[in-house]
Structure 1
């Protein structure tokens, strides 16, 4: 994620919102890295007492950077800078207090006692941890509120979904500070809860981070998923229209201006396949127009009456009537029997746009397969 978002930062280096987003990812990623046992011990040998302090400064900094991202995304100019500065002062005050508590806590051995969960003998370390998780809780609540508020006015569907995931993830993660403060307070007051503090603090953090990370990826990858899905829907429609199209083009080959779509050879982009679906619809209607002198109004009316007797819907009735009209017209053309002008079947309705047109012709193609089999 750090590398992925850094490319966006390079493209927009003057955008403070991008700096905030990348800074939050970098602070969170490097802060978690310090928590890895091997890294933690190596840093502690080089600079005793530094890993815990630096890790929490980075994690708090990640929270402030995330506030900066949302602030500059929602507001503009002086108002955004003023709010980001206000949150920055809260961050600095929190880090100053954490540092002021950490130095004597480390020298007294409170930090070591806290890491052993001996909270009774680590009052300064417990207070320091309370300040830390309280700050994180404030950040998570403000981020959840801003993300959800922004989602309400976002004009892109995947952006709305991503922001809501971030809001939900932040709200779930906010359970961690509540649990941690409650747990340490209970132990300090002599009431040891019967569960592991780390395990039950880990769950909301893991779930919240997973949701928030997914939410940050969704706005970019969601539209790509839509493109893949739309390509598949176009391809499915293209295949479903094939029987009706093949029968009409066989009777009137002059309507076909180019070869059918060949997967893997004629492009894989959505626009490529949309073009071929569009061409197929045009060729179907061109052939249908050429078939009209062979169609029968009587056959169409009989098909409508039979469809009504079966209790079909209006959309299904028109599709069945068109399918029977085409099937009987192709048989009449093959036998050389044309119709009088007053006996031609009237033009059938289609859709008002390509999607509606394709959906209607798909129903016609299904009914045509049954009518042709009779």
Structure 2
């Protein structure tokens, strides 16, 4: 069991560290970060690190109190605040808002008072031998699990309601999975309080240490479901990032070819494809800028593609059997290739006011789709052959 708990603790610390790089640097809402920080601290204190802390401070079972404060009070309060923010339920009366802040502190203070006043210096199992300490443990557990259960039940209502109504698929399923994790947490709390009462009146609900094993598995299931649920919206963003990165790399050859002839449209100096692949930063912004620079370059090159070149390109494309949208894209790729060569040769530009973007242009997605098709056509053998034929037309006329 210790190895399994260690794996969960590592996962929680990885999640905490990953989220820290976002929320603390960018000043975003930090409630979810505090949730995972509290859970990570709780899991760490369940490991030998907790016993080491007890020996270092010479306070018996101090880790017992701290893991409840971190994992129960801090995490549940922060998670509930996060869910309220996500669902838009941050409002309420001033009294309700103050109670959301005061209640966790009152709970933590009551637990600390009961712990240091009556539960010290006993070890956890020895408490059952002292009637006063036993009642203090029951009160301590009731305060802790009562607050935890109330917070989890409130969070479940938010998750199931907004998970059902959300139009964002990843967010919807994420909230539902978090809700399932909170439900497992409620069952954990009920199991713990039932086991404690049973130990006080007899030998427990289940024989041996099965009570502890069952509650531990419920706790692990709750933690894993909360981690998975909170990560699902991130997976949606990751899919978007991967799609935009793929489009960024696919447009790189076309961008290089066109901006080589029109370097003034570049915001930044050109970089090699290998450098583009290795840079994961600001993919959306770079892709947005790339689409603009490709269109600006095409507009600048349009003066080097007079009407006769465009007509010749259209005729060649139709002669190859292309039609409709594919013919339109291939025609534009042809005259762009011919115009680029003309510009690099130093030809005198003409004046063309008829150039319009080929399809796309309504939003970034449609623009990426249109430019990706243009890039594929531009680097095809068909366009290269037609551009060579169109490129010879001015020489014949001079």
The normalised TM-score by structure 1 is 0.58
How many correspondences in the alignment?
A: 338
How does 1:289-328 map onto structure 2 within 5 Å? 289-295=303-309, 297=311, 300=314, 303-304=317-318, 306-308=321-323, 314-323=324-333
Partner SS state of residue 361, structure 2: coil
Question: What residue number does 1:350 align with?
Answer: 359
Contact 2:361 / 2:367 at 8 angstroms: preserved in 1? yes
Q: Deviation at 1:78?
A: 0.6
The runs of 5 or more residues in structure 2 that have no matched partner are 1-15, 344-353, 386-398
Question: What residue number does 2:64 align with?
Answer: 52
Question: What residue number does 2:94 align with?
Answer: 78
Contact 2:76 / 2:148 at 8 angstroms: preserved in 1? no
Question: What residue number does 2:394 align with?
Answer: none
Contact 1:169 / 1:212 at 8 angstroms: preserved in 2? yes
Q: Deviation at 1:206?
A: 3.0
Supply the distance in 2 between the matched residues of 1:66 and 1:217 (Cα, whole angstroms): 17
Q: Deviation at 1:171?
A: 3.5
Question: What residue number does 1:143 align with?
Answer: 155
Match among 287, 293, 298 for residue 301 of structure 2 = 287
Does 1:359 pair with 2:359? no
CA deviation string 1:289-322 (max 9, x = no partner) = 42233336476367458235xxxxx533432454
Partner SS state of residue 270, structure 2: coil
Q: Aligned in 2, Cα 1:172/1:291: closer, same or farther, shift over 3 Å?
A: farther
CA deviation string 1:212-252 (max 9, x = no partner) = 45777899x8899689647624532432525xx73x789xx
Partner SS state of residue 383, structure 2: helix
The runs of 5 or more residues in structure 1 that have no matched partner are 114-121, 309-313, 334-344
The normalised TM-score by structure 2 is 0.56
Question: What residue number does 1:257 align with?
Answer: 264
- Tell me the C-alpha RMSD between the 2 structures: 6.0
Question: What residue number does 1:275 align with?
Answer: 289
Question: What residue number does 2:349 align with?
Answer: none
Question: What residue number does 1:236 align with?
Answer: 249
Contact 2:181 / 2:222 at 8 angstroms: preserved in 1? yes
CA deviation string 1:37-58 (max 9, x = no partner) = 4543763793446553554455
Supply the distance in 1 between the matched residues of 2:58 and 2:203 (Cα, whole angstroms): 36
Partner SS state of residue 264, structure 2: coil
Partner SS state of residue 358, structure 2: coil
Q: Deviation at 1:84?
A: 1.8
Contact 1:176 / 1:204 at 8 angstroms: preserved in 2? yes
Question: What residue number does 2:215 align with?
Answer: 201
Q: Deviation at 1:261?
A: 1.7
Contact 1:110 / 1:124 at 8 angstroms: preserved in 2? no
Match among 167, 189, 198 for residue 177 of structure 1 = 189
Q: Aligned in 2, Cα 1:292/1:168: closer, same or farther, shift over 3 Å?
A: farther
